[in-house]
Amino acid sequence: MRTKGIIFFVLVSGITFSFLSCKNNTTTDDTYAVNVRLPNEPENLHPMLTKSSFGIQIASRVLLPAAEFDPKTLKLSPLLLTEIPAAREVTEGPHAGGTVYQLNFRPEAVWDNGQPVTSADYLFTIKAAFNPYITGSSWKGFLAYVSEIKTDPSDAKKVEVYFDSTYILALEAITNINIYPSHVYDPDRILDEFPVEQMISPDQVWTPEQDTLLKKFASSFQSVTYFRDTVQGAGPYAFDSWTTGESIRLKRKQNWWGDTVADAPLLLKAYPDEINYKFIADAATAEAALKSGEVDILSEIPPADFVKMMNDDALKDGFEFDTPAIMQIFYIEINHRDPILSDKKIRQALAYSIDYDGIMNNMLAGLGQRTIGPIHPQRGYYHKSLQPLEQDLNKSMALIKEAGWEDTNGNGTPDKLLSGKREELIVDIKVSTKEEGQSLAAIIKDNAQRVGITVNIVAVDPSQFTQDIRALKFDMAPMRNRPLASIDDLYPAFYSTSPANRSGIQNAEIDEVITDIRTSESTAERDSNYYKLQELIYQEQPAIYLYVPMDRIIISKKYKTITSSLKPGYFENLFELRA
Amino acid sequence: MIRSLLRKVFYAIVVLWILSVIIFWLSKQMPGDEVLDYVSIDDTRYAALINPLDQRTSYGQVARERGFYFPGFYFSVSPSLFPDSVDLILNRDEKVNVKNWITVYKQPERVLGFYHLLLQGMRSSCSSVQTGSPGFQSCLFYAQSLATHDPEIIYTNAVAVSGQINTDSSVTASIREDLSSLIMMMEDLKKNKPSGLAISSWMPTIRWHGTQNQYHQWMRGLLLQQPLTSLIDGRNAWKKIYEALSWTLLLNGLSLLLALAAGIRIGIWSGKHHGRGSEKSINWILFALFAIPSFWLATLLIYFFASGEVIKVFPAGGIGDQRGDAGIFSTVGNLFMHLFLPVICLAAGALAYVSRQMKESFLHEAKQPYALALKAHGVSKKTIHRFHVIPNALFPIITIIGGSVPALLSGSLIIEVIFNIPGMGRLMYSSLLARDWPVAFPLLMMAAFVTVVSYILTDLIYKWADPRVKTVEG
């Protein structure tokens, strides 16, 4: 009897406390919060240093970039700048023959303390990125081509950035970076002592005193204080709280300067008063949280689950299902240094052996789009007249024969003399132990077997996989390319002498067209060169191009918003409560 | 008793030390290079723009920050063919490659000279060129050579690059000369390659490194509770562990209490009503709960009680708003609602086990001569059970509690993931996956320490509670 009493007391008091503590998390009369589910917790909210896309997503609501890709047009849109700068040719001085961009910061743009966003903050951001003791950041590489940055003593809102050599991503490099408030991230004003020309110079040698100061700055800049305690910027939201393992909360600034901007770009708009990012790793728990109204947006849902949820009556009424094509291209990287795969015919034979429909239906539940090469189908210059390859086993077998491979020893696998040694038609496909790559490899192995090519699956730890790809220790490997929203620079992956040319493709014609694209003077000329390049890649088949996936996003119908090809596919600051 | 205790403590220290060495050794066997993972930019858009010399400098900085410039352990054993300095190469891949070059050319000191020539070539050709510029080719060659296992490939590439840069006016004479010296050296290495090596070259040599080694530094940090910093988010590792531990203790502690309270009660009831229909039915239900995998039960509980599909009583997961400004009602209510389902889920499995143990123990004690004698003396059944049978039947529960203590601290990964609770299981899993050793090592050692200590304590309590054990053990 006594036990029953205790149980009853605990339950009743627990529920009572819960009701007493209950407060509406989402909406009051005139304010509302948007709850976003994230599958992982970011390691920090430091845009220059985070390796998590969620970290950048959240931090970019607080620390605005100078310019960001517009979700609708996919073109750069000025956020802290008054306009997107146009490239101007430099005709005289040390940068003659080069290009200059003039950046003007918005007069309305201010930090939390009311101070204006100025060229000094821009310089501080660049200098921080070039500090030799800031490790693990990609920004320095992205900005490597900058030759000089000039400020105007008479106009604190103006900056000129010079490039001596042609750099196709110049505009993105200098504008699509989050701007840090120098007074917050460098309270001791250490970097003020370092001229920007010294910081960006690759030949700069530092005195021991300077070296000590740079180390001191880097140690503070990369500390936990700026990782998760002090996160400040000129964005519409202020960092409010971070409950480890649970959530991050942003609150809309009271006097958000973006409200005063006439014809403000889409990304300067900020509707919700609060954004809660909730970390829910388990897919089933996330689905339950969506159904119960604890979260308003779910993305990155496995394709099969998404299709199932689309047919779920409990979700149909209250939620919208969106599938924008993501700016990602999935393909099989082929190592041309391998004597077997250096033969174009064998690469083509492999490409014709693959059951693309099977991949699209079984792995993606139909939520994907076939593609012909490294250019995303959403691009205006995507070559629509080239058709994606289809499975053709007879053609594949004919190509193997044409390449001189025949089963001479009767073991069922074609063979050929290569450099005086009889080789069997056997190649490896390296995959990480993640599920997606393994499923794809299994399909390819099974398909290739049908035309006589033996494909061995080599599954390694994800870290080892990355290291092997870097060290070029692979025959084939499933990969994902994430092109920039605005333009494609195929130099890194396809130019013969590029350090990032992992496939090892050496093709003078492709090199020439890539150079032409980089130096094209008009959009029409550049697009024509892109077409030419796609044709060459289509013929050469340096890799097997599979598909672009569609994002799987579910959003509560309480909100009016937009989705986009840009990651993460939704924009939580644009969630407007429906009337 | 004291001698027995001292012996146990001594064994425990030895076991913990062996465990620490095994954990450390396993961490060094993990595939991949954690420093390279951290400093590398694998996105091809940026990778092409990174100067290999910058990346090498960053690698050195990060490796030093992480203490990798020390040898791994107090001593190392390797063939005498490899000079001491090979073990001091920071880059994991380079170390393996240099060892292979030595094995191929069989001239250790000269191969080391060749390695230093590659480093020097990289410094001079990468330091003043812009990425992507024509002169960048030789820079790239040196960077790729250092990552190449087969020296023949390096030679072939060197000859090819030399031919190309000879016609490139942007390449300085010193860079050309460096490359020519390298080619000459490789030809010389090939020409003077001995046909074989003396067996003594392959004999293992033991090298003593003293206390300046990674394991020693790590143990020192652990034992002295020095501030350890997480490699992932820069937070204090002890603070991260403390936060996770508090959630796990709360979750597992409540579930253990619930399982014990309910399990003992059900076990006694089952013992008293052994063989009846109602007892059999409850047994079946408990076995069903025991048999259901915890992840499935968790998903079912969420579906029925949290998703709103059937009824919406509890939140779907998480720990709720934990800001300090919430009142006591709010905090307790919040915790109750967020922990109710996971506690039930964890307790469900243990409930069957505890009740079964208690029932068997109760039945066993009830048949003992002392109980029968009391019954013969006319003592009421209720008194016999309450004051004699039940206290004696509780002994096996001591073992259950002792065995549960390690789990109390190490967490329940699956439940923590499904219910989104930031406890020790999730922290352990994510730290190991991310190779966050300053967090993972203390966690693993803590789990080992608590397991060992709890077994010693269980033994001691058993001896204290049951004099028969004391008699046998002396």
pLDDT tens per residue, range B198-242? 777 788 888 888 888 899 988 888 888 777 888 888 899 999 999
Cβ neighbourhood burial of B95 (10 Å; 0-12, 13-18, 19+): middle
ipTM over cut 0.90: no
pLDDT at site B474:
40
Of residues A228, A281, A462, nearest to B233 (C-beta) = A228
Instruction: Using a CB–CB cutoff of 8 Å, tell me whether A17 touches chain B.
Output: yes
Contacts of B84 (CB under 8 A, 6+ apart): B207
pLDDT of residue A1: 47
Indicate yes or no: CB of B45 within 8 angstroms of CB of A132.
Answer: no
Closest chain B residue to the Cα of A515, Cα to Cα: B132
**By the 8 A CB rule, do A534 and A494 touch?**
no
Q: Is the pLDDT of residue B473 over 50?
A: no
Q: Give the tokens for residue B207.
A: 């090298």
Which 8-state DSSP code applies to residue A380?
T
Compare B320 and B121 and report the one with higher pLDDT.
B121
| Minimum-distance CB partner of B309 among A224, A228, A291 | A291
Which B-chain residues 85-124 have CB contacts (< 8 A) with chain A?
93
Name the minimum distance, in Å, from the CA of A18 to any CA of chain B: 4
B299–A247 C-beta distance less than 8 A: no
CA dist., res. B351 & res. B209, Å (int) = 53
Contacts of A246 in chain B (CB under 8 A): 318-320, 322, 420, 422
Beta carbons of A58 and A250 less than 8 angstroms apart: yes
Q: Would the CB atoms of A500 and B44 count as touching at under 8 Å?
A: yes
- Least trusted range by pLDDT, from A20-29, A470-479, B261-270, B308-317: A20-29
pLDDT at B48 over 80: no
CB distance A228–B243 less than 8 Å? no
A18 touching chain B per CB within 8 A = yes
Query: What's at A402, amino acid-wise?
Result: E
Helices (H), A250-392: 283-291, 303-310, 313-316, 344-353, 356-358
Best of A95, A280, A285 to substitute, by most chain B Cβ atoms within 10 angstroms, is A285
Ranges of chain A with pLDDT below 50: 1, 20-27
Percent of all residues in chain B with a pLDDT value above 70, rounded to a whole number = 92
Helix residue ranges, H only, A337-415: 344-353, 356-358, 393-402
Q: How far is CA A458 from CA A462, A464, A474, B117, in A?
A: 12, 11, 9, 35
Band (pLDDT 50/70/90 cuts) for residue B25 is: very high
A466 contacts in B (CB within 8 Å)? 32, 37, 40, 42
28-87 in chain B: CB under 8 A from chain A? 30-34, 36-52, 54, 57-58, 61-62
**pLDDT for the residue B45:** 53
Question: What pLDDT does residue A484 have?
Answer: 79
Contact between chains at B334 and A466 (C-beta distance less than 8 A): no
Residues in chain B within 8 Å Cβ distance of A293 = 308
Query: Above 70 in pLDDT, residue B157?
Result: yes
Residues of A in contact with B30 (CB under 8 A): 461, 463
Burial (CB < 10 A; 0-12, 13-18, 19+), residue A184, is middle
pLDDT score, position A24: 43
C-beta atoms of B48 and A43 within 8 A:
no
The verdict on A493 touching B (C-beta cutoff 8 Å) is yes
* pLDDT value of position A23: 46
Q: What is the pLDDT of residue A213?
A: 96
How do residues B82-95 score in pLDDT, each as one tens digit? 888 888 888 888 89
Predicted TM-score (pTM) of this structure: 0.86
Could you give phi then psi for residue A394, rounded to 5 degrees? Answer: -65, -45
